[in-house]
Structures are given as structure tokens and as C-alpha cells.
Amino acid sequence: MKREGLVRLALGLFLVASVTSFVVTETAAQVQMGGMLFGFGGYPGGTLHEVFEMQRGGANAPIRTYTIDIFPSGDGYHMTETIDAPLLMRDDIGSGLGRSGAAGTAGARYDEEGVRQNIDLTPLSALEERSVVVEPNQNYYLPDGARLVTGDIQTIAGIEVVMGTFLHPSYPSQRVTMSFADPEIEALLLFPLYMLREVDGEQDYLVQLIEFSHEL
């Protein structure tokens, strides 16, 4: 199970800083036939539905949901993006599909300063560069002394994944648990299927797919 675009997706989640407020908003856009989906690859067609749950700021933080639906419409596709984010103001969520709107759902907006506080995930890019197939129950040694320790195969939202824990010696108080799924499935996802960042053993940020369907 190769994780294509893993670091781009993961860093897209961590390039944010906390805010508070409230909004429920919906936007729509056109996805052209054969066009790029989420900036990572061509959309294979058909009907797509995915729902993510997110928490930022601990296990007791509000749960936000981010829903995307794509369906055929004329010569292209119609996309609906629905954000349900309690305790956020409308100005804190960027409209339209993309990292800014998605970051708003997580209860945050982009802030380069926030990157310095978060664990460095870039060593994971070595897996993609070397076309490594991530397998269960393995120990992968990565650049900068980082490593990925994988466990058993699990099922999330009906999708089989290999779960792994990422550790970095420069960030001893942090660790990230993430999933690795079939690259054809992951190419359809705006966020990682599952990602949990813990600081000092406590949940800091969580994103997980709770609903998924794709029919050609």
C-alpha cells in the first residue's frame, strides 16, 4: 500500500493555527471531465461521497464535519462541499473546495508560524520517493532518525488500511498515528483517511474518514 502524496496531505492539515467561532456553510463548483481532483490527480469519474470528522484542541474539542459530494452533470461533474463547524465564524472558513476551507473545518486557518510547533512529517516522503509498499507489522527507518512502525490491517469507513505510528527524535513529546490505504482510494480523498497527532500522550488533532463511497 503506497501512500502517494502523503506528505502534501499531511502537511496541509498541520499548516494551521487555532481560532474559535461558528459556521455552517455550503458551496458548489464544477469538476471538468478528466480534470484534477484536489490538485493531486485526475478524477476517474462517477459519483463520490466522503465525510470526515475532525477535532483540534483535544478529545473534548467540538467535532467538525466536512462533506464532499461529486456527481455527473452534463459534460462535467457537480461538486458540493458542506462544512459543519460549530464555534467558528464565517470569516474563519474559506469558501470553496481546498486547503483553506478544509483548514477552517478543522477549527484553524493557515499560519506558517504553526509549522515550527508541529512534528516534522517530511521524512515520510522517502517512502514515496523509493516506491515503498507499506506493509503491516514492519519497522521503517527514515531520514533524520525518524521511523514508521506499522501494526495490523484495520478497516475504516469500509476501507482496509495499514495503521502506522510515526516518530521523530527531534519531537520526543509528539507522535502521529496514520493510515495507509490503496493509492487509488487515497487519490480520491481530500484528507488522510486517518491521522491522529498526540502531544505528551494526549490527543491534539484528529481527522478521520467516517463515510465513503465511489461508484463509476
What is the residue extent of each domain of the chain? Answer: 6-215
- As averages over each run of 10 residues, the pLDDT of the chain (216 residues) reads 48 38 34 50 86 89 90 86 73 46 43 58 90 94 96 96 96 94 88 92 93 95
- Supply the pLDDT for residue 89: 56
Dihedral of CA 184/185/189/193: which sign?
A: negative
- Beta strands of the chain (E only): which ranges? 16-18, 23-32, 36-37, 41-42, 47-56, 64-73, 76-85, 108-110, 139-141, 147-156, 159-167, 174-180, 194-199, 202-215
- Supply the pLDDT for residue 36: 52
Grid cell for residue 147: 521511523
Dihedrals phi, psi of 124, to nearest 5 degrees:
-65, -20
What residues pair up with 44 in beta bridges, in sequence order? Answer: none
- For residue 33, the 8-state DSSP code is T
User: What pTM does this model have?
Assistant: 0.75
Rg of the chain, C-alpha, whole Å: 17
Q: Is 204 helix (H, G, I), strand (E, B) or coil?
A: strand
- Supply the pLDDT for residue 1: 41
- Supply the pLDDT for residue 34: 44
